[in-house]
């Protein structure tokens, strides 16, 4: 059981990051189905308790592709092959986790959820000081966002069974050796008990 402190939903946001068909396709099918099922319940729970839901998705316009230099090892191939166009259905948030009115939704063009978006500003405008982080992949959006959000002084929780990576070994190292110095690690089943409504 987690020893993490309780969460005040009024100041908490669940970040649902890169839960897009094109990215879920990188995982084994059974894994993605299980993830979607857990995240449906987590989103509903956070909503019911009054927490904010923030969706982060990756997608590119022609201008975004043009702005990616060939030196960027992660994103230059995406630009070269014109992948992940922002209007493609495969880059939308998965329909099972579809945003609702009032949710925060941002589109990014690099790994992190904060670096190329106005997410930090929008969270602060909502009085958010605590983030619950879920996303795919652990070594991409989750790692980048955890490091950045920690530097911005958010209180962080990483949802261990709400993150996944095509490389299980890298996933385990990050979850058990890297993230704990910056975030509380918890599972979906524990989250319900930590969310308290004042």
Condensed to tens digits (0 to 9), the pLDDT of residues 180-198 reads 999 999 999 999 889 865 4
H-helix or E-strand spanning residue 184? strand 184-186
pTM for the structure as a whole: 0.95
pLDDT digits (tens, 9 = 90+) for 50-86: 999 999 999 999 999 999 999 999 999 999 999 999 9
Phi, psi of 146 (to 5 degrees): -60, -50
Residue whose structure tokens are 């918890």: 186
Class of domain 9-194: alpha beta
How far apart (Å, rounded) are the C-alpha atoms in residues 57 and 97?
Answer: 12
Q: How much of the chain, in percent, has pLDDT values that exceed 90?
A: 92
121, with CB counted inside 10 A (0-12, 13-18, 19+), is exposed
CB 148 within 8 Å of CB 112: yes
CB 20 within 8 Å of CB 57: yes
Mean pLDDT, the chain, whole residue set: 95
How far apart (Å, rounded) are the C-alpha atoms in residues 30 and 114?
Answer: 29
> Is 4's pLDDT higher than 90?
no
Residues 6+ apart with CB under 8 A from 183: 133, 146, 150, 156, 157, 158
Phi, psi of 130 (to 5 degrees): -130, 135
């Amino acid at each position: 059981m987690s020893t993490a402190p309780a969460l005040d939903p009024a100041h908490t946001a669940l970040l649902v990051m890169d839960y897009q068909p094109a990215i879920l396709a990188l995982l084994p099918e059974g894994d993605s189905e299980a993830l979607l099922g857990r995240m449906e319940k987590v989103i509903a729970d956070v909503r019911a308790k009054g927490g904010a839901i923030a969706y982060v998705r990756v997608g590119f316009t022609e201008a975004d592709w043009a702005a990616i230099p060939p030196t960027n090892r992660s994103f230059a191939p995406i630009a070269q092959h014109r992948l992940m166009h922002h209007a493609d259905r495969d880059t939308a948030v998965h329909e099972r986790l579809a945003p609702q009115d009032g949710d925060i939704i941002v589109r990014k063009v690099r790994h992190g959820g904060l670096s190329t978006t106005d997410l930090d500003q929008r969270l602060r405008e909502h009085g958010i000081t605590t983030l619950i982080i879920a996303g795919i992949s652990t070594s991409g959006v989750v790692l980048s966002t955890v490091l950045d959000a920690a530097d911005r002084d958010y209180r962080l929780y990483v949802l261990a069974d709400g993150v996944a990576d095509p490389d299980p070994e890298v996933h385990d190292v990050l979850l058990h050796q890297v993230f704990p110095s910056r975030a509380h690690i918890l599972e979906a089943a524990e989250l319900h008990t930590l969310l308290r409504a004042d």
